[in-house]
Structures are given as C-alpha cells and as structure tokens.
Amino acid sequence: MITLDEWAEIRRLHRSEGLGIKAIARKLRISKNTVRRALRAEEVPRYRRPPKGSIADAVEAVIREQLALCATMPATVIAERIGWERSITVLREKVAQLRPLYLPADPVSRTAYEPGERVQDDFWFPPVKLPLGHGKVAAGTDMPPVLVMASGYSRWMLGVMIPSRHAEDLVLGTWRLLGQLGGVPRQLVWDNEGGVGKFRGRGRPPALSRQFAEFRGLLGCEVVVLPPREPEHKGIVERNNDYLETSFLPGRVFASPADFNAQLGEWTALANSRFKRVLGCAPADRIEADRAAMAPLPPLREASLGWHNRIRLPRDHYVRIDTCDYSVDPAVIGRMVDVRADLEQVTVTCDGRLVACHDRSWVAHQTVTDPVHKAAADVMRAERLRAKLAAPPAAVEVEQRDLSRYDVLLGGGEVA
C-alpha cells in the first residue's frame, strides 16, 4: 500500500515528466506493479479499516422484533425484555441504528427567505454604562434602546441607538436603518411592541399605532406584529443580539450615544463582510440581490417623520418634546410655531424662520435653555417693568356717600 504522496508523485512523473514505469520504479524505489496500479487507479487511494462487529449483532433479530411491536420502545426496556446483561451503551447504539427502519418518515420544513421579502426588527439593551449628559450615566433598565434590524435573505445587520421606545422615535430609527439598507422590504416583522402595535389574533391584521400606520402607508409595505412570547419567529435578529454582546461590546468604552452609534456602525460594516456558515458566504455577497428585490425608498424627508407639533408659544417661551422642555426665542410669544425633533435635534420655526435649535436631551425631565433666549427674555421683562413704573397712575373715581346714611343704619335720624 502506497501513501497518498507517493501515488500523486507517480502520476506526476508519468504525466508531466514523461517517465516510464521502470524509470519511476527505479527513482522511487518501489515495484513496477505498484507503479502500474497507481497509474490505473481511478480513485484516490484511501486506507479503509475493515468494519468490526458488535456484541449486539447476535441479538439483532430479537431487537427488530421488539421495535416491530413498538418503534419508540426505549433501549432500557428492550434490554430488559431480551435479557441483555452487557453494556447498555452498546445496545443503545444498535437500537439507534435499527430504530429509523421502523419509524415513519417525518420531514420538517426548512425556513427559507426570498430576496427582499422580510426584515426582522427588535430592541437590544446593551449591558454597559453610557454617559447621556446632564450628569446622568445610563445602566441597566435606564439604558436607551438599540433598534436592530436583520434581513432574512442576506442576513445584513444594522443597528442604531434611539432616545426612547415611543412610536415617533421608532419611526425615525426605522427610516434611518432602511436608508442604510437601501430599500423597503415587503414585510417588517416586530414583536408585540407598544410603539408599533398590538397583536390581535391569528388571521387578523395588527392594531398599529397611528405613527406606524402612517409610516407603513408611506413605505408601502406590510408590518407584521408577532404574538407575545414567540421569539422563534425572529430567530435571526435574536441571534444577532447575542452576537453583539459577545463580539461587539467586549473591551469597548462609549462617551455618548453618538459615540456608541459611530462605533456600532463601523463594527456592523465589518461583521457584514464576515463569512456565515448558514449562508455559505458573507452577507455582503448577498445584499445586492436583496436590494434589487426591494421596493425603492419613497421620497421622504426625515423632518416629516417623528416628533412634530404646531402650538401657540406660551409666555414662558418653552416647548415640550417627550418629557423635556426646550427654550424658544421670546420674540414670537403668542404666535404659532412648528416644533419638530429627530434623533439628534429639536428645531422650532415660526413662519419658516428658525427660532430655536437644540441638541435633543437623552435624559428625561430636563429643561434645556439657550442663553440667548434667556438674555432676550430678561431684557424684555426689564423693559416692560420700566414702562410700567414710568406710567402715571390712572385716576380712580371713588363714590362719596352721604354720612347721614350711617345714622339711619345705626338707628338715628331719617335720611332727608
């Protein structure tokens, strides 16, 4: 028996070098018959050990009889019935070999995704400490959610940290990730998340929140809300959450939500280029086919989504977004202003003119004041006070009563 290297060398010398059988045998110091067999061989030579028998082979017939009576009979019960006194492990192996012959075929379905068909969405709460500003460091249940997204076909993974789980922020985060994805899938799959909608029973459409219902119409796609406690319907994105915790987080420190999103964006670009065994390739090798099957992004502006309101500016010249108050130029007190907020900024306009712009607070119940607005309000109050003090007191007419009326009330004389 020659080795694989000797077999390959014999064929090389004969095919590439043109040496004859005798020359090859002399060069490699092997017999001519060995050279002839190597050249005639149509398969790669492999060492094959002759199969060894099992001590359970002697009782195969009676094992078959028991399995014919009950195909699911445990190996321990079979051992008791046939009087087996040897190793139970050997008998289990024999029973496992024979049992499929007596069980009916039971194939299972394999989940497959078509290009552009489905994108799974979920929340991930990273177990880290994150400075949010205003002296607040988030950790545990105070951590802002990370909206994560995964395409079923390409396994393309995306994520962005958003300030809250409100529907307005969900819409903004979803729109931003769809922009990075490069298209609109036929389905967006969500858990029974309050900001998205509620599951109303199998066969019935979900009760979507107003913001997400509007967003669904603008995108022209279907929003699927899953029943409670059924994470297996979002297995791809659930596994990605574990992947983020074990591969993205270790050793990282974050200075702010913006820093977190920057590092997450760099890492997901790298992760999407890595080979995935389930695909046989990297998500980057499939994303173009995925995008080609998706609907194009509608011509929307991010300013038209999320938080927006139109109010008359009150005398305290502050507007509220979520739980935080933001100052506005006091010059437009009493006028109608348009308030809008995205994931980073809060802007206020009056007749198309910008009258306030603030970084959005990621800490709840904060009052954000622009020093320019405060100074302008102080000047306006001081001028109003000076004008009030400088005005002459208004003349007040006081009724002059006849004093004899009091005499009548006290029992005195009559009024003339």
Per the prediction, the chain carries an average pLDDT of 88
**Spans of all domains in the chain:** 4-40, 55-101, 118-301, 306-390
- Does the reported pTM lie above 0.85? no
Higher confidence at residue 144 or residue 394?
144
Q: How far is residue 233's CA from residue 187's CA, in Å, rounded to a whole number?
A: 13
Q: How do beta strands 345-350 and 187-190 pair?
A: unpaired
CA distances from 412 to 401, 405, 408, 415, 416 (A): 16, 9, 5, 9, 12
| pLDDT score, position 185 | 94
Positive or negative CA dihedral for 266, 268, 273, 275? positive
pLDDT cut 70: percent of the chain above it: 95
Q: Of 131, 122, 106, give the one whose Cα is nearest residue 242.
A: 122
14-18, 45-49, 102-106, 268-272, range with greatest mean pLDDT: 268-272
Q: Which whole number is the average pLDDT over 217-240? A: 82
Among 169-183, 186-200, 223-237, 373-387, the range scoring the smallest mean pLDDT is 223-237
The 10 Å CB-count burial string (b at 16+, else e) for 85-96 is eeeeeebbebbe
At 300 the pLDDT is 84
Is pLDDT above 70 for 380?
yes
The yes-or-no verdict on residue 120 having pLDDT over 80 is yes
d(CA 145, CA 122): 10
d(CA 266, CA 233): 28
What is the per-residue pLDDT for 74? 94
Q: Which fold would CATH assign to domain 118-301?
A: Nucleotidyltransferase; domain 5 (3.30.420)
Nearest to 169 by CA among 353, 365, 361, 368: 361
**pLDDT one-digit tens code per residue, 297-351:** 998 888 788 899 999 999 999 999 999 999 999 999 999 999 999 999 999 999 9
CA proximity to 56, closest of 32, 89, 26, 34: 89
CA proximity to 309, closest of 354, 346, 334, 345? 346
pLDDT reported for residue 228? 73
Most confident of 105-109, 155-159, 407-411: 155-159
- Is residue 412 predicted with pLDDT exceeding 70? no
Give the residue from 109, 187, 191 showing the smallest Cα distance to 153: 187
Position with higher pLDDT, 49 vs 151? 151
pLDDT band with cut points at 50, 70 and 90 for residue 108: low
CA dihedral 346, 350, 353, 357 (to 10 degrees): -20
Q: Which residue has the higher pLDDT, 402 or 246?
A: 246
Instruction: Check residue 230 and give its pLDDT.
Output: 64
Residue 296: the pLDDT is 93
Average pLDDT over residues 237-257: 92
Tell whether the model's pLDDT for residue 23 goes beyond 80. yes
Buried b (16+ CB within 10 A) or exposed e, 127-148: eeebebeeeeebeeeebbbbbb
pLDDT at 410 over 90: no
- Asked if pLDDT for residue 394 goes beyond 80, the answer is no
Rg, the chain, Cα only: 40
- Please give the C-alpha separations between residue 169 and each of 166, 342, 401, in angstroms, as whole numbers: 6, 8, 69
**Across residues 208-237, what is the average pLDDT?**
83
